[in-house]
Amino acid sequence: GLNEIGVIFSGGLDSSYLALLLKEISDNIPLKIRLYAVGAEGSKDVEAAIYASKFLNLDLEIFEVTEEEIRQALPEVVKAIGDDNLMKVGVGLTTYFATRMVARDEIKVAISGQGADELFGGYKRYLQSFVDGTLNYDLRVDMSNMYHVNLERDDACSMLNSVELRLPFLDKKLVELVLNIPDNKKIVSMHDDMRKSFLRKLAFEEGLDYEIAYRPKKAAQYGAGIDKILRKKILKDTDISQYLG
């Protein structure tokens, strides 16, 4: 039978590059690839995901986030994460909603772009590391702390839907290879608004559209519009720490 695989998809560089590589793999082995995007109506992630899915010519499913959906999912997600930190909850909700779509399509495995920012220097704070000359050290520290900071959270949220997350960017051989690439291939100057230049160049050369390969990074919880709903609506009348149980 056909192997089906889901991709947690924002239309940004990391998830689009993975989808592109999966597409190349599917030329040789039977693989059905489906993309899953999460976002509030009109959010940047949803627009980018639609654009990128058309470019890649892959099926896209979108979960439209509403205040009501977040209120329903919050108790379960906060409890699973074991933390009421807003940023973690925002990203956790994204993972939860995406893997819930994957599970409903009876797909067991979802691919995620987690790790690309830590590995290739995607976050804005790495500009300071670059200036201080500590970039490679800071990337290594973040990679070694990643499990507690991000992966545990995502794993807990996908497990609520019995979906297994696979993270190609955290492949051991790749991590060892990339951590040894010089700093200035990852960030090119203190004014490098794009960052991750090495990965962008690779993706572009592999055939990703310029518009996607060089799309500036938006943090997941902002790009999806979840953070805004949490702050503006839900926190007004809800103390989410009550869900920690």
Helix H or strand E encompassing 16: helix 13-25
Q: Is the pLDDT of residue 21 over 90?
A: yes
Q: Please tell me which residue, 223 or 68, carries the higher pLDDT value.
A: 68
Mean pLDDT for the stretch of residues 83-105 = 94
Return mean pLDDT, the chain.
Answer: 92
State the virtual CA torsion across 177, 3, 110, 214 in degrees, nearest 10.
60
Crossing angle between the packed helical segments 13-25 and 44-56, to the nearest 10 degrees: 20
> Phi and psi (nearest 5°) for 115?
105, -20
Beta strands in 70-163 (DSSP E): 109-111
Confidence of residue 25 (pLDDT cuts 50, 70, 90): very high
The burial class, CB within 10 Å (0-12 / 13-18 / 19+), for 64 is middle
pLDDT digits (tens, 9 = 90+) for 174-233: 999 999 998 888 998 888 888 998 999 999 999 999 999 998 776 665 677 898 999 999
Q: How much is the pTM?
A: 0.93
With a pLDDT cut of 70, the percent of the chain lying above it is 97
Across-strand partners of 166? 111
CB 90 within 8 A of CB 230: yes
pLDDT (0 to 100) of residue 184: 87
Instruction: Specify the range with the lowest mean pLDDT, choosing from 136-140, 149-153, 184-188, 228-232.
Output: 149-153
Contact 20, 109 (CB under 8 A): no
How do residues 101-125 score in pLDDT, each as one tens digit?
A: 999 999 999 999 999 999 999 999 9
Give the single-character DSSP code of 116: H
Q: Could you give the angle at which helices 152-159 and 86-104 cross, rounded to 10 degrees?
A: 40
pLDDT band of residue 44 (cuts 50, 70, 90) is confident
